[in-house]
A and B are shown apart, each in its own frame.
Chain A
Amino acid sequence: MLTQRYTGKTVLVAARERMSFLFDEFEHIIVSISGGKDSTALAHLALVEANRRRRKIGLYFLDEEVTYQSSADQVERLMSMFPENITKIWLQIEFNLTNSTSLSEGQLICWESGKHKLWMRPKKEWTIHHAPWDTETQTVRNKSKGFGFYDAIENFERCYHGAAFLVGLRAAGESPNRWRAVTKNPVNVNGKTVYWGTKKGDNFALYPLYDWNFHDVWRYIHDEGIPYSKIYDMQFKKGYPITEMRVSSLIHERAFKSIVDLPEFEPKTYNRLQKRIQGIALAQESGKSGKLFACRKLPKNFTSWITYRDFLLDTHLDHERKHIFVNRFARQLNNEYVARQQCRQLILNDYENNLSVDSSPDPRDELIRYYDEVL
């Protein structure tokens, strides 16, 4: 693994150098934004460089519909920051999103045609309403899951050749796995080895903020006076730990906890969301409790996580996707520790395996063995 060493320069100077390098080497630069803090800092860095060179870059936002209103507002603010240097690429197209809050409506079709009265907010006139690629030949990673978020990204990226897609992915201060994933496959950009990117078909995905920590991002936003999503302020006031301050989709398997505080942060968004999709009221009530979604406490009428998992599998409502879980679990260890994680996947309808299961021996067994020896 690439080791981390301190050099004499700050991460900001290094990121500006990277940005300058990208503008030297690439004709097409597209910055992916989400309305979050990282992409806000990245977009600003890129726009400052574009403005200095009097060039145009794309700001690309794949709108998941079920997001905070503040995130959409933040994207709009970013897109109006340097108008002469921006090509707005705001996609409001149909694709599938996993709904972790309900098994009877396990997927949301964002911006589904015919349901415009239920949409979280109306589409903007100037955004892209139809897929800008040939839908006849579009690729889908897994047909049983349908055309999803990552399919939309891949197909969009294929519209370009030799372009640099900048992503606000950070590896410093995150897990070692993240660091490894970012740096393990360095790319060659016109003869220069770049450790902060990956090759994606004809294009490059590049992470100029890969060595930034979360406080570097906040420091940059503060020093430059950049507006940011107000959801962060509310989460800070409520004492959210840094790792749980998120502003992405509200319904996927890592973000459903956001729904608990949504009525307080954005009551109108919460009202719309309740009408839009099933399971929201349940997630709002029990999103942070250990009993349901987090699967930290075994329901009273079960004696073990294994029996609970088997029950959830037997009674799984989504018959089309049940086999995905059955096949996956067959490859994993069969103990209480693993079964609890499998229950969580089933409850959150995580057929995409985003909440990976640690298939290893039960750590409780080790503790029991220790007590058996020392006592």
Chain B
Amino acid sequence: MIRLGFTESEKDSEITRYCKENQIRKVFILSHGTSQLPCSFAGHEHIEYSQVIQYKYYYRLLQEIDDSSLIVVNECLRTQNRNDLTYNCIRNYLNQTRHRIVFQYLPIIDTLDDFMILFDLDTRSRWKRDKWRESMRGEIDIVSKRIDVRLDRIYVETDNQTRVAYQREKKRIISGIGLRDPHTIPRNLHLISGKAKLRVVESSRQYVGRNNRFKIPSMHTFKDDSFPDICTIFEYCHNFISFEDFLAKSGQSNIPVLVTDLKVDEWYHERYVALSKRIRDAYTAIHG
């Protein structure tokens, strides 16, 4: 079964309930991240996402997992490649038992196709290669706590000097791009908008940014393990997965965002507004 948007305590009670109902003897929790999912069921083992593919776990787990085991796949949607080695290994573990719970905070990384990775895990890859269609709804037991992501823009005006510097930097980056990844262009330009936002930073607010290069005491980074209740996005990260990790860890869904009038900031903001719409559309597609 698939459970979307559950908190850690909700996950724990779901595992406990399932174990009681199905006489489970051992729980294997495959999780991404350093912090382990709290589990009150006594016989459980944590396997970190990066360990899933390692021989020392792979062959042992294939032997140990049987039909009295429950496999919990916790927040393992880490790549959009449906044939990724880690997913294949997880599916091989899942072939050993009927009991599985797939927890994920959001249903997608970027597109609805990502949901099919969760679907594959829950259905023994019956429709591997296929895209989502309505008729598949009946094949899965899915419960979603919808996360409605809303991004509230806080407008930050830049001065003429910053805009000139921005154009100069843009020319410099593009002319010197060489063999480097073209995605470094928006990433590097984004740094300039960061400087422009400094003057509106309030000491009473908590912020999240790509890094803490400005040494702001209330600044968190997207890679932190925990966040305060309300965080303002100082600047977006380039990678959707980091942003979605932040949503899952902070539990925030209405998020204020500092956005300057520089084109790169507008571009990032539109990109994430479009993502939040795709997330809403994904819930509609999955549940109707």
Query: Interface residues, chain A, CB within 8 Å of chain B?
Result: 237, 239-242, 298, 303-305, 336, 364, 367-368, 371-372, 374-375
Task: Tell me, rounded to whole Å, the shortest Cβ–Cβ distance linking A373 to chain B.
Answer: 10
Please name all residues of chain A whose beta carbon is closer than 8 Å to the beta carbon of B92 when the two chains form the complex: 237, 239
CA distance A336 to B92 in the complex (A): 40
B89 touches A364 (CB 8 A): no
Please name all residues of chain B whose beta carbon is closer than 8 Å to the beta carbon of A336 when the two chains form the complex: 179
**CB of B273 closer than 8 Å to a CB of A:** no
A371 touches B83 (CB 8 A): no
- Closest residue of chain B to A372 (Cβ to Cβ) is B174
Task: Tell me, rounded to whole Å, the shortest Cβ–Cβ distance linking A289 to chain B.
Answer: 15
A374 touches B88 (CB 8 A): no
Across the interface, B177 reaches (CB within 8 A) one of A237, A298, A368, namely A368
A239 touches B189 (CB 8 A): no
Number of B interface residues, CB 8 Å? 19
The interface centre, meaning the residue of A237, A367, A375 with most chain B CB atoms within 10 A of its CB, is: A375
Q: Mark B74-103, 1 if CB is under 8 A from A, else 0.
A: 000000000101001100100000000000
B179 touches A298 (CB 8 A): yes
Task: Tell me, rounded to whole Å, the shortest Cβ–Cβ distance linking B102 to chain A.
Answer: 18
Please name all residues of chain B whose beta carbon is closer than 8 Å to the beta carbon of A298 when the two chains form the complex: 179
Q: Would you list which residues of chain B between 138 and 181 have a CB under 8 Å from chain A?
A: 170, 174, 177-179
Task: Tell me, rounded to whole Å, the shortest Cβ–Cβ distance linking A259 to chain B.
Answer: 18
Please name all residues of chain B whose beta carbon is closer than 8 Å to the beta carbon of A374 when the two chains form the complex: 263, 267
A303 touches B178 (CB 8 A): yes
CA distance A26 to B77 in the complex (A): 54
Task: Tell me, rounded to whole Å, the shortest Cβ–Cβ distance linking A172 to chain B.
Answer: 12
Task: Tell me, rounded to whole Å, the shortest Cβ–Cβ distance linking B99 to chain A.
Answer: 21
Main secondary structure of the interface of B (DSSP, over half): helix
Given contacts A239-B88, A239-B92, A298-B179, contact A371 B53 (CB under 8 A): no
- Closest residue of chain B to A240 (Cβ to Cβ) is B88
Please name all residues of chain B whose beta carbon is closer than 8 Å to the beta carbon of A241 when the two chains form the complex: 83, 88
Across the interface, B53 reaches (CB within 8 A) one of A239, A364, A375, namely A239
CA distance A375 to B170 in the complex (A): 8
A371 touches B186 (CB 8 A): yes
**CB of B112 closer than 8 Å to a CB of A:** no
Task: Tell me, rounded to whole Å, the shortest Cβ–Cβ distance linking A316 to chain B.
Answer: 23
CA distance A336 to B182 in the complex (A): 14
Q: Would you list which residues of chain B between 260 and 281 have a CB under 8 Å from chain A?
A: 263-264, 267
Task: Tell me, rounded to whole Å, the shortest Cβ–Cβ distance linking A140 to chain B.
Answer: 40
- Closest residue of chain A to B189 (Cβ to Cβ) is A375
Across the interface, A239 reaches (CB within 8 A) one of B89, B182, B186, B263, namely B89
CA distance A374 to B177 in the complex (A): 17
Given contacts A304-B179, A336-B179, A368-B177, contact A375 B88 (CB under 8 A): no
Please name all residues of chain A whose beta carbon is closer than 8 Å to the beta carbon of B53 when the two chains form the complex: 239
Task: Tell me, rounded to whole Å, the shortest Cβ–Cβ distance linking A176 to chain B.
Answer: 16
Main secondary structure of the interface of A (DSSP, over half): helix
A371 touches B174 (CB 8 A): yes
B182 touches A364 (CB 8 A): yes
Query: Interface residues, chain B, CB within 8 Å of chain A?
Result: 53, 83, 85, 88-89, 92, 170, 174, 177-179, 182-183, 185-186, 189, 263-264, 267
A368 touches B174 (CB 8 A): yes
CA distance A87 to B100 in the complex (A): 51
User: When A and B form their complex, which 8 residue pairs have the shortest distance between CB atoms, in order from nearest?
Assistant: A239-B88, A241-B83, A367-B182, A239-B85, A371-B185, A368-B182, A375-B264, A375-B263
A371 touches B89 (CB 8 A): no
- Closest residue of chain A to B268 (Cβ to Cβ) is A375
CA distance A303 to B182 in the complex (A): 16
The interface centre, meaning the residue of A305, A368, A371 with most chain B CB atoms within 10 A of its CB, is: A371
14 new A-B contacts at CB < 8 Å, known A298-B179, A371-B174: A237-B92, A241-B83, A303-B179, A304-B178, A336-B179, A367-B182, A368-B182, A368-B185, A372-B174, A374-B263, A374-B267, A375-B170, A375-B189, A375-B267
Please name all residues of chain A whose beta carbon is closer than 8 Å to the beta carbon of B89 when the two chains form the complex: 239
- Closest residue of chain A to B166 (Cβ to Cβ) is A375
Please name all residues of chain A whose beta carbon is closer than 8 Å to the beta carbon of B264 when the two chains form the complex: 375
Task: Tell me, rounded to whole Å, the shortest Cβ–Cβ distance linking B84 to chain A.
Answer: 8
CA distance A336 to B189 in the complex (A): 25
A375 touches B182 (CB 8 A): no
CA distance A296 to B123 in the complex (A): 35
Given contacts A237-B92, A239-B88, contact A375 B185 (CB under 8 A): yes
- Closest residue of chain A to B82 (Cβ to Cβ) is A241
CA distance A305 to B179 in the complex (A): 9
CA distance A304 to B178 in the complex (A): 8
Please name all residues of chain B whose beta carbon is closer than 8 Å to the beta carbon of A242 when the two chains form the complex: 83
Please name all residues of chain B whose beta carbon is closer than 8 Å to the beta carbon of A239 when the two chains form the complex: 53, 85, 88-89, 92
- Closest residue of chain B to A367 (Cβ to Cβ) is B182
CA distance A240 to B186 in the complex (A): 35
B186 touches A375 (CB 8 A): yes
Task: Tell me, rounded to whole Å, the shortest Cβ–Cβ distance linking B169 to chain A.
Answer: 10
Please name all residues of chain B whose beta carbon is closer than 8 Å to the beta carbon of A368 when the two chains form the complex: 174, 177, 182, 185
Task: Tell me, rounded to whole Å, the shortest Cβ–Cβ distance linking A366 to chain B.
Answer: 9
- Closest residue of chain B to A304 (Cβ to Cβ) is B179
CA distance A167 to B85 in the complex (A): 31
